[in-house]
């Protein structure tokens, strides 16, 4: 009798643990890759206008997921557009269609212009902890000219709220960190401490070192990422500075 009771209790405990596990999994923020593509219907033989997008789509935690997905989409609208303002599209299908439509309208105005537009954007989760979620958007666009433009965007979220962590909340004191970062940058790019920051051919505005517009949390450390044209020419490409987390402890705001 007692043995049967213990077996039943063990069985019920196993079921309870399984249900608890399944419930926790359902409430855990996860991502799935979603892909979208669009090309022009106008006749073309090569360099046909096209746009391809891959993005990590957040799910399982409705309010948090919705906030993350909306922010990613809003940044995509900043990347994929031609004209003075981003498109008014409300979804990815419409966004890609608007890009192709811009090309087709231009083509109707000047049929002799045969170059093909292109946009490639790939997003991925590159860092995910209880306090930091970092999504990288790697993008390339070409809408004519000598070459296209490639770059990276970093979206740093609070995974508990789904809200972006602004730069002024990343650091304990950004001015103190800037002084430290300049010293590390000069060492990395062999710029003498007493020489102008642009002494080796860089193009910092006003001849003053400044922090980049883009930061990445990586498995190897905190990455300062200067996109093309930010401090150097297109030919020189982007500039990077990776700082180990052990050296970042005095500067990153606690989380």
Q: Residue 105 belongs to what H/E stretch?
A: helix 92-109
Nearest Cα neighbor of 72 from 156, 165, 132 is 156
Which of 219, 213, 74 is closest to 132 using CA atoms?
219
Tell me, what's the pLDDT at 106? Answer: 85
CA proximity to 203, closest of 227, 180, 187:
227
d(CA 82, CA 100): 10
CA 247 distance to own-chain centroid? 24
Is the pLDDT reported for residue 235 higher than 70? yes
The overall average pLDDT reported for the chain is: 89
Pairing of strands 118-128, 50-59: parallel
Note the pTM of the prediction, 2 decimals.
Answer: 0.86
Question: How far is it, in rounded angstroms, from Cα 50 to Cα 44?
Answer: 11
Beta carbons of 238 and 226 less than 8 angstroms apart: yes
Q: Give the homologous superfamily in CATH for domain 168-248.
A: Heat-shock cognate protein, ATPase (3.90.640.20)
Residue 91, pLDDT score: 96
Instruction: Determine the angle formed by the axes of helices 92-109 and 62-79, rounding to 10 degrees.
Output: 10
Spatial distance between the Cα atoms of 80 and 118, rounded to a whole number of angstroms = 10
Ordered by start, the domain boundaries in the chain are 28-165, 168-248
Furthest C-alpha separation in the chain:
91
The CATH class of the 28-165 domain is alpha beta
Convert 13-51 to b/e letters by CB count within 10 Å (16 or more is b): eeeeeeeeeeeeeeeebebeeeebebbbeeeeeeeebbb
Query: What is the C-alpha separation between 123 and 54, in angstroms, rounded?
Result: 6
Q: Is the pLDDT of residue 13 over 80?
A: no
- Taking residues 45-64, what's their average pLDDT? 91
Task: Give 202's pLDDT tier (boundaries 50, 70, 90).
Answer: very high
pLDDT at 7: 54
Long-range CB pairs of 70-79 (<8 Å, 24+ gap) are 71/155, 71/157, 71/162, 71/164, 72/123, 72/135, 72/137, 72/155, 75/137, 75/153, 75/155, 76/121, 76/137, 79/119, 79/121, 79/137, 79/139, 79/141, 79/153
Neighbours of 138 (CB within 10 A): 14
Q: What percent of the chain has pLDDT over 70?
A: 88
């Amino acid at each position: 009798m007692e043995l049967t009771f213990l077996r039943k209790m063990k069985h019920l405990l196993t079921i309870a643990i399984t249900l608890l596990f399944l419930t926790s999994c359902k409430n855990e923020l996860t991502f799935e890759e979603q892909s979208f593509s669009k090309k022009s219907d106008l006749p073309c033989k090569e360099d046909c206008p096209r746009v391809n997008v891959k993005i990590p789509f957040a799910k399982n935690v409705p309010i948090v997921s919705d906030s993350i997905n909306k922010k990613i989409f809003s940044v995509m609208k900043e990347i994929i557009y031609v004209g003075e303002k981003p498109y008014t599209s409300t979804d990815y299908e419409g966004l890609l269609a608007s890009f192709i439509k811009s090309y087709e309208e231009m083509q109707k105005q000047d049929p002799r212009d045969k170059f093909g537009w292109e946009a490639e954007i790939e997003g991925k989760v590159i860092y995910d902890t209880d306090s930091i979620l970092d999504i990288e958007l790697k993008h390339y666009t070409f809408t004519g000219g000598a070459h296209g433009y490639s770059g990276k965007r970093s979206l740093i979220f609070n995974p508990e709220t789904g809200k972006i962590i602004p730069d002024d909340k990343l650091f304990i004191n950004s001015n103190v960190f800037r002084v430290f970062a300049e010293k590390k940058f000069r060492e990395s790019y062999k710029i003498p401490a007493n020489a102008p920051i642009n002494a080796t051919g860089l193009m910092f505005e006003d001849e003053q070192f400044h922090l980049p517009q883009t930061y990445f949390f990586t498995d190897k450390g905190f990455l300062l990422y200067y996109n093309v044209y930010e401090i150097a020419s297109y030919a020189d490409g982007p500039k990077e500075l990776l700082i180990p987390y052990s050296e970042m402890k005095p500067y990153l705001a606690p989380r």
